[in-house]
Amino acid sequence: MSVLIDIILAILAVYLALQSLLAPRLTQSVFLFFAFGLALALAWIRLGAVDVAITEAAIAAGFLGVLFLDALRDFSPRGSEKKENLEAVQNALPKNNTKSLLLPGMALMLGLGLFLLIALEAVWKIPDGGGLTAAAEALLPESGVEHPVTAVLLNFRAYDTWLEIGVILLGLLAVFAVGGIKIYRKPVMATQDPLLRQVILFFTPVLFLFGAFLLYIGKTGPGGAFQAAVLWGAIGILLHLGGRPVFSMIPRWLGQLLLTIGLGFFLILGFLFIAGGATLFEYPPAHAGVLILIVETMAAISIAAALTAIFANLNQMNEGPNEIESTN
């Protein structure tokens, strides 16, 4: 019975992936991709990876889905439906009347099919390396936290996590690079929609508390900085949509501090450890638990700020340049 659930879930994921690429309309594509993300999240719950499931649902499906939906404001109204239909047909069926597409299409299909067969054989015959479960279990008591995934993320492989916090900040810098720096201080009128106002009023504290809860629970169970960060980031996005962009309500230096504190604090802490004769990110064992909680909080603040800023910048990207005040 349980195998049946897995098979259905697997087929569903493949179906949704295919459909999101083949759907004739962009809107459908985006919603199917969103559904695909949720199917993957279910798969991960089935596989016992609750942390991954929360992250997937929150960031990959949730945050990215919101970015895609926001992008549709740009693309769908002007991109005519007819054009999209034609394009989808050409993608899906090489037998379309345009003969020039037939041969490359066939070759691509053939190549991919062959590649798929080899890939399937490779994953089918994969030897059992045993993983690092035992090693992680043995060293877990020394890590300062009780949840193994948090221990790996914030202690055993803290270096990767630190670089990853850097990658999110880089994502924001890269978005700046595309459109120039302009997220700060855009004068936006507060929303007139009373319903949206109520929603924001209700959700802001709820999201904040739930995020804080996820952050704290990360010590002992599924949850942690990234999951909390997305919830806090959601506050920023809601406020932005409600006409209260966070970055224009706070002083500039504070915004920059929020964006960089996760990366900077973690690094300076690491440098202090080096100065004390240890290696980068080598917590003193007695204080590991407390330090990890502080690092996680800082990281969550920065990630939330970066996600908010990425959304805000993308959201305003294509509103005429005269509306946007450059600060640099």
Partner 1 sequence: MTDLPTSPFPALLVGLPILLATLSLFFSARVKALVGLTGCLLTAGLALIAFFEVTQRGTVIHILGGWEPPLGILLRMDSLAAVFIAMTAVVGFFISLYAWRYFRAQAATTGGFPLFWPLWLFLWAGLNGLFLSNDLFNLFVTIEVIGICAVALAVLSGKTGALFAGLRYLLAAIAGSMAYLFGVALLYGSTGTLDLGLLGQVLEPGTTTTFSLLVITLGLMIKMAGFPFHFWLPPAHSSALAPVSALLSALVVKGAFYILLRLWMEVFGVSITYAAGQLIGLAGAVAVIWGSWQAFMQTSLKLIVAHSSVAQLGYLLMIFPLLILAPGVTADSAEWLSPTWTAGVYQVIAHAFAKASFFLSAGLIIMALGHDRIESLRDLVGNMRITAMAISIAGVSLIGLPPSGGFMAKWMLLKGIFMSGQWWWAPVVLAGSLLTAGYVFMLLRLAFAPAREIGTFRPVPKSLEVLALLLALGSFLIVLPADYLIQFLESSEVFGSGIESILKGGAYGND
Partner 2 sequence: METYQIYTLTSAVLFVIGIGGIFASKHFIKKIIATMIMGGGVFLTFVSLAERDALAFADPVPHALVITGIVVAVASAAFALALARRIYQLTGEESFTDDK
| Site residues, partner 1 (CB under 8 A) | 118-119, 121-123, 125-132, 135-136, 139, 152, 155-160, 163-164, 166-167, 169-171, 173-174, 176-178, 180-181, 253, 256, 259-260, 263-264, 267-268, 270-271, 274, 278-283, 328
Structure tokens at 122: 């490779």
Using CB under 8 A as the binding rule, whether residue 297 contacts partner 2 is answered as: no
Positions of E strands within the chain? none
Hey, what amino acid is at 121?
E
The Cα–Cα gap between 319 and 297 comes to 34
281 is an interface residue for partner 2 by CB under 8 A:
no
**Binding letters toward partner 2, positions 9-48, x by CB under 8 A:** -x--xx--xx-xx----x--xx--x--xx--x--xx-xxx
- The number of helix segments (H) and strand segments (E) in the chain equals 14, 0
Determine the Cα–Cα distance for residues 323 and 224; give it in Å rounded to an integer.
38
Binding segment toward partner 2, per CB under 8 A, in 185-193, 239-247, 270-278, 307-315: 307-315
Q: State which of residues 103, 116, 250, 274 lies at the interface with partner 2 (CB under 8 A).
A: 116
- 6 near partner 2, judged by CB under 8 A: yes
Contacts of 120 (CB under 8 A, 6+ apart): none
Q: In sequence order, what are the residues at sequence separation of 6 or more whose Cβ sits closer than 8 angstroms to the Cβ of residue 90?
A: 96, 98, 101
Separation of alpha carbons 25 and 88, rounded Å:
8
Site for partner 2 contains 56 (CB under 8 A): yes
Q: In this chain, which of 134, 189, 190, 286 binds partner 2, going by CB under 8 A?
A: 134
Beta carbon nearer to partner 1, 121 or 193: 121
Q: Is 152 in the site for partner 2 (CB under 8 A)?
A: yes
Element of type H or E holding 137: helix 133-139
70-73 CB contacts, 8 Å cutoff, 24+ apart: 70/311, 70/314, 70/315, 71/314, 72/26, 72/27, 72/30
CB of 281 to partner 2, least distance (A): 14
Instruction: Provide the minimum distance between the beta carbon of 326 and partner 1 in the complex, in angstroms, as a whole number.
Output: 8
Give the interface size with partner 2 as a residue count (CB under 8 A).
Answer: 89
Residue 181 CB, nearest distance to partner 1 (Å)? Answer: 7
Q: Is 123 exposed, middle or buried (0-12, 13-18, 19+ CB in 10 A)?
A: exposed
By beta-carbon proximity to partner 2, the closer residue of 71 and 212 is 71
Least distance in Å: CB of 311 to partner 1?
18
Of the chain, the end-to-end C-alpha distance in Å amounts to 61
Distance CA 255, CA 188 (A): 17
CB of 130 to partner 2, least distance (A): 6
Region 237-276 residues binding partner 2, contact defined as CB under 8 A: none
Between 92 and 111, how does the x/- string for binding to partner 2 read (CB under 8 A)? -------------x--xx--
Q: Output 23 or 241, the one with its CB closest to partner 2.
A: 23
Is the distance from CB of 315 to CB of 240 less than 8 angstroms? yes
Query: The tokens of 64 are what?
Result: 């990215």
Is 79 an interacting residue with respect to partner 2 (CB under 8 A)?
yes
